[in-house]
Structure 1
Amino acid sequence: MNWETNTVQNLKVCAASKQKALQGLDNTTSGGMGAIDTLLKLVTKLETFGISHESVEKLKDSLHVINQFLKFEYKLHLNKLDGFTDHCTTYALSDPSIPGFSSSCEHQHDANYDKCSLVDNVLDLITTELSKVQVNESVQDDIDFDLNSATKNLLEWKRHLLRTVHQDAARNDILKNLTPNQSLIIMDWAMKFFPVQFRETQSEFFGKKGLSWHISCSVTRSASSDELDLNCYIHILENGTQGCPGGRYGVDCENSCPQNCHGPCDLQHENCLFGCLDGWLDQKCATACRDGTFGGNCLRKCSANCISDPCNHVTGECERCTNGWKGFNCTTECSKGKFGLDCSESCDGCIESTCDRFNGECVDNSGCKPGYENGRYCNKTCSTGKYGLDCSESCDGCIESKCDRLNGDCFYSYGCKPGYEYGRYCNRTTPKCDKGKFGLYCNESCDGCIESICNRCDGVCIDSSGCKPGYEYGPYCNKTCMNWHFGTNCTKICYCLNNPCEKNSGICSDGGCKKGWHGQSCDEECSKGTFGLDCSESCDGCIESACDRFNGECVDSSGCKPGYEHGPYCNKNTQMSLPASSGTAIRGGISAAIMIIIIKIFEVNYVI
């Protein structure tokens, strides 16, 4: 059994089936289908720009008709003798400027075909409608780019279909004129044996691993029978690839393609076969877009609203936007109430929050919203204690004078300042209080203030130079002296015997002082020579009458005055009180004493 028999049997068992997954879809066809999708998106946007819904739906329907026509019908109408220019392959493929590529037709091109004309007509209509749109420059650039790219790809798809039909016709001509000594050899990769479940372009399909078929066919003409002989050779590569795997090149696929290639690269020279990823140029896709451009083939311009640095050369993203713009590429105007760089500032104080989106100046210059001071920008809010139009009203009755700057509603809802009746706004004052009184119902006193004069609302002393005696200094003079203190600012101390003194006058109520003190307020130390309670005791026996004022102990402990027994207090007098008798008795007594002393002296000397 030869190889031809085996091949025929295999083909009978594995009969060809309808291709559903279009694996290996060529790039031109893929680009044309993508162009239809892009045009549908642009047409959908027209309705947001004011074009009627009916007109938009009509254009959508026409695009769907064009898509189906180019996919299934257009190739059936193409031939060399058609009277419609788009169907006549001779006319369409001729170039009058190059004799070698120029042919003339022997028929007139006066026929018309609605569906073929529909392609050009719809493109013209979409272009006309989009030209009426009033948008900023950056948005218009995006629209123009999408429209031009889609138009180019759609027309290229149509040309590709025409070339395909002409190519098939040319192959038939070659076979018809083939001589016995000639051979037509066709070599190509067949589709992968295993189907896929999604569409792939050639660039995506190229180099994928799988069961690849490489087919070589030779067509010859028999000299005896004038029939064509077909010999095909099939090479099945298990787990092989068509060329190098994606992203590799070289004799043994040992090198990596440039990272910015859109698909595979040339197996020998590293050049990117299907162009570059967005943002890159040249054959090896190693050159970034020049400043101010980005995207596929660097054909798109950066938004003029990017601030300082150029946009990202791949995506077109701006780092920051100039005044009045926001968004990924700074093509979106600031929304109402916003302005400035990246639309990051607010003009909430302007009437209806409407301001110039570039500098924030209010459109309505008649005034500002309540809660803002009048000005060109209405950007200064009311200070604490102020609210309303132009911040002209006060909320002094609110606690800490804090209120809603729009309507004056008090921030703290649990009460009002003294002197104001309780309510949401604390804006009604209570009746005027008598001297020395203050508070909501004038039931609090400010007796510590000089002349008892204070603010009737909060009790702050009018005279801030000090307070009455018996009170500590402070704005309210409402803190009395601590026990045992009295006088101005409570700086004096009293040493009353049992109970504290009066805090304003310092008078001791029990009439006595502790040891070492005397006086009306018991704040005077004992004078020299006195000590004890109320300084009522004397220390006359101490030298110079100097003693401790608390317990009477002599300061000079070396001795006592004459007539006092030596001791810590020198409080014992040595002179005794004698009866008033005759002088002779006294003298006799003295003489006897002298004699005794003399005798004692002699006794001492004798002993020695």
Structure 2
Amino acid sequence: MVECLHIRIATWKVWFLPFLCVSSTDFRSDCPTNWFGPNCQFKCHCNNGCSLTGECTTDGVCESGYFGYLCQYRDLAKELDQTAPELTDNEDTTCLKDNPQSVSMQMLPGPFSFFRVVVNKARAEAVDLITFELLNFNTKVTCEDGSYSYKTELFIKYFYCMTATSVTHLVLSGNGVPYLCTVNIGGGRNLALKGAFKYSSIFEEGINVAGGVDGEYPRNGIFENSMCFHANMSQEYSFYQVFFQVPVLIDYFLIINRPEPQFLMRMKNFELISIDDMNQTLMRFVEDDPAFSNSIVYKVAHTSNQIPLLSFRVQKHRLNLMDVLQFCEVEAYGDCPEVMVGLDCADLCNFKCVDQRCETSGRCVQCHAGFYGEHCDLECLHCASRNCTRREGYCIDGCLQGYHDSNCTTVCDKGTYGLNCSMKCGDDCPTSCSPDTGVCLNCPKGKFGSKCNYDCSPNCGGSGACEAIYGYCTEGCEEGFYDYGCSKECSMHCKPPCSQSDGSCPNGCLHGYTGTRCTVVCPPFCGGNKSCDLTTAHCADGCMKGYWDPICSSTCYNCVEDTCDQYTSLCTIGCKAGFTGSNCSSAMYSTMSDAEGNVHIFLSLGIIIIVLTLSLGLLCRKKEPNYPAISEF
């Protein structure tokens, strides 16, 4: 990825070094000795030289005073003499000998960020038995956002604790202290090295304006134009401003004065200003302490070390002839902001890292469950509980069923399945079962089921083969059967063949039957061959005599030979005697003379009167009392 720095141009003279556009992946092969990087902007701090990418070429040991990723981190534990010198001798195999339960490491006052400990390899577990406390002389200092730690090796551990206040002592305690071999205190990386800069003026031609950030110092105790910066002595105000490629976090600044003792006081009363990416001042420091006016090295703590800054400026206002802005190097020590990684802080930490927290190299401090690798971009897919080791991806709780080996990436060998591949496939599928469940993937001809222990349906067509798991016939059914297992018979009233998927009769039904599978009997009074429509069941060849309507369920009325139209009920031959109308539903009546009618009426009335008279006489007879005869008295 390529990132470019854009700087607001002022009216001052401005120099931009060529690494303003930096690739975090390309490294040049023609860098000068002890330099590396895409634009040779990173300095080698290895004991015996670096590779093109900055790795130490031989023993992997950093030069004294540096440690960490590519030996880029300054070791604050080397600034002062320690009570346990074996912990700062740059040798990880020399360890404490007197079995102390605690050890105190002193440092010059300044913000704290992290430290590194190395314990005896033979007692690697001791690294987890070490605790720490930070002090500002006798006052306890707490971490701003809590602390965290992680191991890069079983016996090497990093502890992170960012502070806004100064720290003077790191106190280590616990049962692991007796096995300590090395303690490094993180002093950050010089992020100003070969940075972009601008300046007000120079003293004379030949002054190397880049000398303030070139990483080189005079070795002979004399100011050198090629390595140092010297502003014009006649100007009332002079400055030197350094720009970072991206906003960074800075803990402290170092200003390396010119080496001659008689000129040290010229930097007295200098100012240092830090500026954020909105061009707002974060900190203004004024050197006004007489005790440090003649310092060879000025160390200025950055009181806004939790806020990213984009540049800083060293400046002087001329009060007398001896006030001159001159130095051989300005350095800014710190690190990338959160989630940014790389020597140039131009890359993002992988989101698969827990809390998106990475080392400078981009290596994740911790992976989310189920991931491993330097950047947590590899998955331990087949580990039980998705729990695997961070570096190699070894499955801690074993494998899921169907897999084996340390990474659980190898499928069970043929013929085996289950947990640790300890089960054997069934006798009927010895080489083709599922590695996790043991279900047979291919059964012998005529067999199916998870263990190939069921017979295919005898009604399967073709070769009689069926699908291995559920027994579906793969070559269709024998004629007269349908469904996936060919277990259902086609209707005997279906004109063959029936559909093998649902048993329907695409060629129709035999006479007298209807329905999709010809299982419905046609109406009983259909005429002709008794056939009816497959969908509506309407009689296709008319009705039997005496019936009508589409399904022949209604009777004809008084039609000759009981014959009427199927759809209108009209008598097609005519009506029976005595009936009339379009459908013969009306009876017929005969006509006669009035005299004949009257005779009929009188005769009828006479008959009625005679019947009534006889009926009354019989009734009265039954009601007379039974008196005895006179002769009986």
What TM-score do the two structures reach when normalised by structure 1? 0.29
More strand by percentage? 2
Q: Which fold has the larger relative contact order, with Cα–Cα distance below 8 Å and residues 6 or more apart in sequence?
A: 2
More helix by percentage? 1
What TM-score do the two structures reach when normalised by structure 2? 0.29
